[in-house]
Amino acid sequence: MPTNLQAAETDSVGLKDWVWKAAAAPGLVWLVLLFVVPFYAILAIAMGRLHPVQLRPVPEWNPLQWDLGPFGEVWSGLFGGQLGVIAIRTLLYVLAACALSVLIGYPVAYFVARKAGKRKGLFLLLILAPFWINYLMRMLAWVNLLHNDGFVNTAITAVGLAPQDWLGGRPSTVILGLVYGYIPFFILPLYAALDRIDGQVLEAARDLGASTRAAFFRVTLPLSKQGILAGLVIIMLPMFGDYYTPNLLSGSPRTQMIGNQIDQYVNQTTSQGRHGAALTLILMMAVALLMLYYLFNIARVTEEARE
C-alpha cells in the first residue's frame, strides 16, 4: 500500500510528477526559443548601437551597456510628435474595424450557432473557405477589384453611379480591409461561445416572461460576452501591427499605421532600425495590456462561476 508521500507524487491517472514535467519540456523549449530569445534580441537592438559605417543596428546584449536614446526619441515622438498622430490613427482604425466586426460578425455567429440547424457545418465551411487563401493574395485581389478600372467601378458605373477612387488613400477602405481580413477570427470564438449557451436557460427566461428581445439582451448577450472579448482580442492584436493592408489598399501617408512606421524603420531606413525595435516593444506593451485585461476578465468570470 502506497504511503501518503508516494500518493502525492502520482496523479489520478497514476503518472509520476516528473512525467508531466518532461512532457512540458518541449513546449517550454519552444517558448524560450521562439519568444524569449527573439524578445531579448529586439530589446538588444532597441537599446543597442548604430554600426558607424554600415548604418545598421548592432544589438547590445549586455544590459549594462544599453543605450536608451532611440527608445526615448520614440517615446517623445509618441507623446507630442507625429508618431502620436499615427498611434491615435491606428487606435481609431482598429476600434472602428472591431466595432464593424462586432456588428457584422455577431449576427453571423448567432445565426450559425442558433438558427442554422443541420447546416451549421456548411455555413462554417463557407465562412472559412476564402481564408484558405493567403492574406496577401486576398488583399491583392481586392486591389484588382477596387482600382480605378476595376470590377467595382465597372459595376457601379453600369448602374449610373460615379466611379470612386477606392484606393486613393481612404481610411474607410483600409478599415474595411482590416475587417475583411480578420473577421473570421472574430466569428469563430463567438460562434463557440453562442453554441455553448444552454437552450434551457433561454427557455427559462421566456417562461419567466421575458420577451425575445429581453431574453437576448439579458441572457444571450451577457452569456456571449466572453466570446466577444475573446474574438476581439484575437483580431485586435494583429490589427495593431498590420502594415500591408494600408500599404496595398492605400499607400498614402494619410493612412499610415504603426505597423507601417515599424516597417519603414526596419526595412527602408535601416539607420533607424533601433527606433523600429523600440516602437515594436512599446506596441507589444500596449497590446499586452489588452491581453492582461482579457485574462483578468476570464479569471474573474471563472471565479464568479465557482462561487
User: Which residues of this chain interact with other proteins, rule CB under 8 A?
Assistant: 5, 8-9, 17, 41, 44, 49-56, 58-59, 61-63, 82-83, 85-86, 144, 147-150, 165, 167-169, 250-254, 256, 260-261, 264-265, 267-272
Q: Which residues contact 275 (CB under 8 A, 6 or more apart)?
A: 70, 73, 74, 265
Q: Which is nearer to other proteins, 51 or 196 (CB)?
A: 51
Q: Which is nearer to other proteins, 9 or 203 (CB)?
A: 9
Q: Which is nearer to other proteins, 139 or 219 (CB)?
A: 139
Shortest Å, Cβ 232 to other proteins = 28
Q: Which is nearer to other proteins, 17 or 203 (CB)?
A: 17
Cell of 198: 444552454
Q: Give phi and psi for 213, each to the nearest 5.
A: -65, -45
Q: Which is nearer to other proteins, 195 or 263 (CB)?
A: 263
Shortest Å, Cβ 95 to other proteins = 20
Shortest Å, Cβ 222 to other proteins = 35
Shortest Å, Cβ 242 to other proteins = 17
Beta carbons within 10 angstroms of residue 251's beta carbon: 14
Distance CA 209, CA 10 (A): 52
- How many DSSP H helices and E strands does the chain contain? 16, 2
| Residue found under cell 523600440 | 278
Shortest Å, Cβ 292 to other proteins = 21
Distance CA 284, CA 290 (A): 10
Q: How far is CA 101 from CA 20, 70, 77, 186, 194, in A?
A: 40, 36, 31, 7, 16
The enclosing H or E element of 57 equals: strand 57-58
Distance CA 88, CA 50 (A): 29
Shortest Å, Cβ 7 to other proteins = 11
Q: Which is nearer to other proteins, 53 or 305 (CB)?
A: 53
